[in-house]
Amino acid sequence: GENVEQHPSTLSVQEGDSAVIKCTYSDSASNYFPWYKQELGKRPQLIIDIRSNVGEKKDQRIAVTLNKTAKHFSLHITETQPEDSAVYFCAATRGSQGNLIFGKGTKLSVKP
């Protein structure tokens, strides 16, 4: 069935460094790819998303890139700060109009 693979499962960086999280998906009809951030004990919240007709999207220190041919997309966080420490989830639609399938998450730790 359709699935979303996310790597790495844990990531530790120094404050100020960049962090990259990668996801691959199996359904070539997927057309919407959001990223959610979940701080410890909190609810997941959308931080950025991209649709299949766009290759890259930026929002301040956060960017997402999409390679539809290879069926992978990535989250890039530059100039990381301690408050970026959280679990990040990628997701992709099941088909072109289906529900989201989530990756298993990446725990990012930013060390001061």
Partner 1 sequence: NAGVTQTPKFQVLKTGQSMTLQCAQDMNHNSMYWYRQDPGMGLRLIYYSASEGTTDKGEVPNGYNVSRLNKREFSLRLESAAPSQTSVYFCASSVNWDTGELFFGEGSRLTVL
User: Which parts of this chain interact with partner 1 (CB under 8 A)?
Assistant: 6, 9, 32, 34, 36, 42-46, 49, 89, 93, 97-105
The structure tokens listed for 62 are 């956060």
Q: Mapping DSSP to helix (H, G, I), strand (E, B) and coil, where does residue 3 land? A: coil
Q: How far is the CB of 69 from partner 1 (least distance, A)?
A: 24
CB 39 within 8 A of CB 92: no
Q: 43 or 60, CB closer to partner 1?
A: 43
Q: 37 or 74, CB closer to partner 1?
A: 37
Q: How far is the CB of 95 from partner 1 (least distance, A)?
A: 10
Angle at 106 between CA 92 and CA 20, to 5 degrees: 85
Q: 101 or 110, CB closer to partner 1?
A: 101
What's the CA dihedral at 43, 44, 46, 48 to 10 degrees? Answer: 140
Q: How far is the CB of 16 from partner 1 (least distance, A)?
A: 29
Q: 18 or 28, CB closer to partner 1?
A: 28
- DSSP assignment letter at 83: G
